């Protein structure tokens, strides 16, 4: 469990490395980190330079903060995120969102790679996350467990509107203006690192999940606890096979990321450009 003093130490180390004062945090998911390369006047801080910051161990996640300007906004992007399945605690994987709050960031934008459960979805579709099922949190693996950090938020925060409606509407408008078929749905967060069994996938379908992945919900829970607003977009990297004949694999997830990057980039750039400062 990280103390508030340790979180302050991380925030201080970031402030010492950049003149920028970001107001928007970006967490870029598996294979989707290249948007951070488009940030101008960037200060780049490898995670390994920061105190208490666990390095990302997954192939395809480079593991650095990129802070600078994008579409007229000052952003802090995490190129590569830390996952629960890497063996870190829930507090560790959501630590960056606490640090964002300490840095004055009030909006979190998250992307992830996800498997499509909704039968209408196709590989390469972006999906606006309208709500989530935090499977991990529901069974007690949840970053808000333990003593409440009163300085960040209340003991019993509401998770209704975890995904900000105005930001979602803006994403819809931007997608439409760019001719991008933005799907919508409920994202279900599991721990991974295994891909689901067909029975698990059918179960997720029954309970109302449209997409499944291994991240995002814990970060959004903490953002909500911090009083931040969130926009989440999944990139559908594979269509989940509910029969078991063609199981998902990491290579196809990374490969589909290449199709998704330009679509997600257009949406996120448009959202940033039109978001009030």
Question: Which positions are annotated as active-site residues?
Answer: 30, 61, 83, 85-86, 113, 214-215, 238, 250
Number of Cβ atoms within 10 Å of the Cβ of 193: 12
Helix segments in 80-192, DSSP class H: 90-102, 135-138, 165-177
CB of 4 to ligand HPA, least distance (A): 32
Q: Between 13 and 58, name the residue whose CB sits nearer to ligand HPA.
A: 58
CB of 214 to ligand HPA, least distance (A): 5
Q: Between 208 and 227, name the residue whose CB sits nearer to ligand HPA.
A: 208
**Nearest to 101, CA basis, from 234, 215, 231, 10:** 10
Report in angstroms the alpha-carbon separations of 166 from 76, 271, 272: 21, 11, 13
By CB under 6 A, tell whether 253 contacts ligand HPA: yes
By CB under 6 A, tell whether 126 contacts ligand HPA: no
Phi then psi for residue 109, to 5 deg, are -115, 125
By CB under 6 A, tell whether 213 contacts ligand HPA: yes
Rg of the chain (C-alpha set): 17
> How do beta strands 126-134 and 107-116 pair?
unpaired
Residues with Cβ within 8 Å of residue 220, at least 6 apart in sequence:
108, 110, 132, 162, 163, 230, 232
- Pick the piece of the chain touching ligand HPA (CB under 6 A) from 42-50, 113-121, 143-151, 152-160: 113-121
Q: Between 60 and 157, name the residue whose CB sits nearer to ligand HPA.
A: 60
Query: Residue 215 in contact with residue 260, Cβ under 8 Å?
Result: no
By CB under 6 A, tell whether 187 contacts ligand HPA: no
- Considering only 11, 32, 114, 275, the residue that binds ligand HPA (CB under 6 A) is 114
- Considering only 79, 91, 111, 238, the residue that binds ligand HPA (CB under 6 A) is 238
By CB under 6 A, tell whether 214 contacts ligand HPA: yes
Query: What residue ranges bind ligand HPA (CB under 6 A)?
Result: 113-115, 192, 195-196, 212-214, 237-238, 240, 248, 253
């Amino acid at each position: 469990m990280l103390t508030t003093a340790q979180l302050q130490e991380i925030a201080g180390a970031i402030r010492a490395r950049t003149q920028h004062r970001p107001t928007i945090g970006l967490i870029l998911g598996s294979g989707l980190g290249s948007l951070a390369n488009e940030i101008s006047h960037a200060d780049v801080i490898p995670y390994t330079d920061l105190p208490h910051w666990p390095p990302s161990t997954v192939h395809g996640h480079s593991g650095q903060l990129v802070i600078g300007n994008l579409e007229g906004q000052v952003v802090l992007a995490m190129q590569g995120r830390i996952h629960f399945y890497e063996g870190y605690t829930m507090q560790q994987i959501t630590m960056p969102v606490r640090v964002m709050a300490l840095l004055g960031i009030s909006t979190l934008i998250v992307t992830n790679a996800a498997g499509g459960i909704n039968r209408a979805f196709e590989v390469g579709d972006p999906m606006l996350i309208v709500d989530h099922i935090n499977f991990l949190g529901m069974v007690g693996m949840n970053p808000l467990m333990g003593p409440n950090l009163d300085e960040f938020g209340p003991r019993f925060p509401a998770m209704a509107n975890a995904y900000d409606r105005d930001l979602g509407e803006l994403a819809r408008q931007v997608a439409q203006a760019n001719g991008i078929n933005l799907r919508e749905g409920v994202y279900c967060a599991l721990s991974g690192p295994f891909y689901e069994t067909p029975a698990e996938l059918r179960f997720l379908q029954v309970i109302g999940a449209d997409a499944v992945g291994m991240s995002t919900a814990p970060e959004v829970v903490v953002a909500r606890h911090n009083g931040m607003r969130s926009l989440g977009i999944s990139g559908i990297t594979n269509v989940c096979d509910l029969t078991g004949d063609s199981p998902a694999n990491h290579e196809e997830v990374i490969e589909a990321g290449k199709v998704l990057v330009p679509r997600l980039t257009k949406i996120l750039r448009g959202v940033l450009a039109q978001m009030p400062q």
